[in-house]
Amino acid sequence: MVNGGRAGAGRQYAGSILISFDIDGTLECGDPPGPIALEAMRQAKARGYVVGSGSDRVRSDQQRLWDIHKIDVDFVGGKHHLDEVRNQFEATRYVHIGDTDVDRYYAEAAGFEFMHVEDLDGISDALAGTEFFDWLG
Ligand SMILES: [Mg+2]
């Protein structure tokens, strides 16, 4: 986990794709649970994506979740502050995945592409597989 630890260290990971995951209603560990398996996050990490959460939960709560699930996220952000995440990392694409219009609003306001979990319904079984990553490129 690098949030805070890398603050001020400059923009990282040039050339990567950055994915911000909303939690509640989006990830299987959310409240309510969403359709995206944590395995998708793990695979994204393994494939070299910059991965983190952009939730309206407080950051300590988000970090506790990743500690429990042993996912070494690159950032823990606020959904309303995705611009801070964008400033922290140099990436070729910035993607936020969420389940509400609020997600869409703040994602697009911060220059992120927005992906609604409902758009993934047909491929939810494959979220940890290639279709998800084919979409991301
Ligand atoms: Mg949500």
Band (pLDDT 50/70/90 cuts) for residue 122 is very low
Distance 99 CA to ligand 1 centre (A): 5
The per-residue DSSP string of 6-70 comes to: STTS--EEEEEEEEEE--TTTBTTSSS--SB-HHHHHHHHHTT-EEEEEESS-HHHHHHHHHHHT
Range 61-66, long-range pairs (CB < 8 A, 24+ positions): 62/23, 63/1, 63/3, 65/23, 65/29, 66/1
The domain defined by 17-136 folds into Rossmann fold (3.40.50)
Question: How far, in Å, from the CA of 98 to the mean position of ligand 1?
Answer: 6
How many other CB atoms sit within 10 Å of the CB of residue 52?
Answer: 26
Domain ranges of the chain: 17-136
Q: pLDDT tens digits for 31-79?
A: 999 888 888 888 888 888 899 999 999 999 999 999 999 999 999 988 9
Distance 23 CA to ligand 1 centre (A): 6
Q: What is the mean pLDDT of residues 106-124?
A: 82
pTM, two decimals, is: 0.83
